[in-house]
Structure 1
Amino acid sequence: MNQRRPDDTPDGGAAHPAERQPSPEFPDQSQRVPGHTGEMAPRPDHGEDSYRGCGRLSERRALITGGDSGIGRAVALAFAREGADVLFTHLPEEADDARETTRLVTEAGRRAVPVECDIREEEECRRVVDRAVAEFGGVDVLVNNAAYQMARSGSLDEIETDQFDRVVKTNLYGMFWLTKMCLPHLTEGGSVINTTSVQAYQPSPHLLDYAMTKGAIVTFTKGLATHLAERGIRVNAVAPGPVWTPLIPSTMPDTTEFGAKSAFGRPAQPAELAPAYVYLASQDAAFITAEVVNATGGAPLP
């Protein structure tokens, strides 16, 4: 396993993308859902030692779902180092990871508000938005990032109704409710950023229900962007390819070769996704809406 970290090369040049982060073969590992960062090998990189902010989100107020680990933690860290206060959601089982995200945001000199929440419940979503308004006085950036998947062999018969409900309610209902409830509090110049996936374009049979929801997120993003343009609120999405997060060892049957089929022969680390969210949230992207930033590691898209 290539363990090279994302440091610059000795001569000052940028490292080859394939060599910047660990590549398979990874140790065989599995966890119970929702998974925990501390049990992963290699440990995910959220930008703890590499992300440097420059004030692009100064005094902004962000609400991030699933901010305890993975992409959500990397985004929370990057937003904080760019000057934003962060409220983020997590499940009860993710309290340990949530404490670490809180530490990282606080060490960046910004406010961190972790909220235990299951976004499959409408009233829980309302409580989260109410808490953000109470803590911050409003919301400038909403990041709909929380998601659930569970790999199956590829047979539709294996997707039970309970699983289907969890996937759809986490990935779509939660996003819909939170966005709807945030809109009265989003100011002109605000931003909504949704996490979709390469699965929206290249659905894998073993993740069919998950892929279906990610396609719906692309449609929701583009439609809502047109609807909110008049109000000066931008709506965009990020579509990651394979990313090394706790969702992988807790929902995939074999992680040893995870991400090996990307053009760079490895999965992305959460730290490599965060800059896309920072860009879309910032005024650098003031003329960008209804777009999907594809960070798929070279996966061919239609």
Structure 2
Amino acid sequence: MSLTSTAALVTGAVEHGRAVAAVNVITLEHAEAIAEAATESGRSLVLQLSQNALAYHGTAVPLARAVHALAELAPVPLAIHLDHLTDRDLVRSAVDGPLRPLVGSLMVDAAHLTYAENVADTRAVADEAHAAGLWVEAELGYVGGKPDAPRSAHADGVRTDPDEAARFVAATGVDALAVAVGSSHAMTARVARLDHGLIARLAERVPVPLVLHGSSGVPDDELRRAVAAGIRKVNVGTALNVALTSSLRNSLTDDPTVSDPRRYLAPARTAMRDAVLHLLDLLEQP
């Protein structure tokens, strides 16, 4: 069995001044591509299942079981994480329901609420999750690109304040904090510019590892600088979707008569694997 925990991988990243890759799964092809990249590179990573991805499948357990099986079979240690949870039923499923044997960590997303509400909701989830042995991530500030709150990642007041972040972690007891430093979710172009000075100030003030969401839109040099400044978990999702859809378009254009999905899903899976390999190589660079 090669299953490990997000906590172990992030702790290792902190000890070595690096960042662990956390890659989103939507389909089985995503999961296979991610596991293949980890195996080929010999590097561990986190397989992430977001609330939206699980909702797409109608029920959470089948995809989670498939990802768990892939992680067990992989020759390198892989972790499984639930991302952007707002549904308390899904939290309960992870704490003491059918998802409990399948995942080792979760992210509670209450950043769209007021600060006081975010603290209260996050504390409640953290207490439940910690009692079940789960590692907990939360978010403070506004990371752009969320469909329910379409503000810019560069608007006034959306960045994570270091002093407030320190108070938030103390009040909630979370194990890691996703911070708003200029990235946005769902970016298909890699043009984001991060506030590296803010990342460094956050890393100095906040006693838990920092997480960067929306990393698909961050150029290589910006991502390297973010890790050097203190980011310890790097979340990527859209980059795989871009690779998948680009490959599908090419395959279907080249052969409009193709009907066997294996003919176009296989190269798409390879394209996603290559995207993950690039990320893993990048995070190994100083």
Give the TM-score band, short-chain normalised. 0.3 to 0.5
Q: Which has the higher contact order (CA 8 A, sep 6+)?
A: 1
The normalised TM-score by structure 2 is 0.39
The normalised TM-score by structure 1 is 0.38
